[in-house]
Amino acid sequence: MSNLKPVLAILGGTGDLGTGLARRWAQAGYRVIIGSRTQEKAEAAVADLKSVMQERGVTAVTVEAMENLAAAEAADIVAMTVPFGHHSSTLELVKPALQGKILIDVTVPLVPPKVARVQLPEQGSAGQIAQALLGDEVQVVSAFQNVAAHHLQEGQGLECDVLVCGDKKDARAQVIELVEAAGMRGFHAGSIANAAAVEAMTSVLIFVNKQYGCHAGVKLTGLPE
């Protein structure tokens, strides 16, 4: 990878979470590709995103639309925001294109209709499933599960921290740079095995949000300045 900013792709990036990350990274100067199962859906998401950004006075950005496989091939770092039901099938599709790259897995193993109840898979977490399926040549980093899509769509910075899990420290560090580019604080949170705790916290936050009518996140305290 050169000194230029890496090209970023967001697979399954047409929802609020994916477009929220896309907007923030594009505004930070990254070339961003929104991926979808169909070119048409990706193009519609990009058009909507650009319209919103223009309303906010932001025009000098690069956001493109591609099908998921093409997006993964074109990117240096790939994020994935698909529902858990499409997690493994999407990974199988793009596996060849991810070799030698970082995959940011944002997936949470929610099981409808009881999404406010922790229901982790046998393998431990979505992040662990991804690492096992993709192999050692792909550096899977789990992040952004505890960030409300509602807040990513807002124009200002976020009072929310991101716990970043992965087996390679350098890969985690690169993802933390992207967390900061998106207006949040990112923290090393250990190996991909620890993704289970972060993914589980999402169901807890869903329950809190329903109980109190809010969009709660995670904020670490007691850290050195």
Q: What is the pLDDT of residues 2-23, one digit of tens each?
A: 458 999 999 999 999 999 999 9
- What global pTM score does this model have? 0.95
* Calpha distance 173→130 (Å, rounded): 19
Ordered DSSP codes for 97-150: HHTTSEEEE------TT-TTS----TTS-HHHHHHHHH-TTSEEEE--TTS-HH
Average pLDDT over residues 59-75: 93
* pLDDT for position 153: 86
* Calpha distance 211→209 (Å, rounded): 5
Decide: 22 and 49 in contact? Cβ < 8 Å: yes
Q: Can you read off the two tokens belonging to residue 196?
A: 């289970």
Average pLDDT over residues 103-120: 96
* Calpha distance 18→35 (Å, rounded): 9
Decide: 133 and 150 in contact? Cβ < 8 Å: no
* pLDDT for position 3: 58
Average pLDDT over residues 136-148: 97
Percent of the chain, pLDDT > 90? 87
* pLDDT for position 55: 81
Q: Which residue ranges form the domains of the chain, and what is each CATH number?
A: 8-212 (3.40.50.720)
3-state secondary structure (DSSP) of residue 202 = helix
* Calpha distance 127→125 (Å, rounded): 5
Q: Residue 1: is its pLDDT beyond 70?
A: no
Residue, of 156 and 121, whose pLDDT is higher: 121
Which residues are CB-neighbours of 146 under 8 A, at least 6 positions away?
160, 162, 163, 198, 201, 202, 205, 217, 218
* pLDDT for position 224: 85
Residue, of 96 and 61, whose pLDDT is higher: 96
Arithmetic mean of pLDDT over the chain = 94
* Calpha distance 222→135 (Å, rounded): 36
Classify each residue of 18-35 as buried b or exposed e, where b means 16 or more C-beta atoms within 10 Å of its C-beta.
bbbbbbbbbbbebbbbbb
Residue, of 142 and 225, whose pLDDT is higher: 142
* pLDDT for position 166: 98
* pLDDT for position 54: 83
16 DSSP assignment: H
Average pLDDT over residues 100-123: 96
Q: Can you read off the two tokens belonging to residue 174?
A: 């690169």
Q: Residue 65: is its pLDDT beyond 70?
A: yes
Question: Which tens digits make up the pLDDT trace of 159-181?
Answer: 899 999 999 999 999 999 999 99
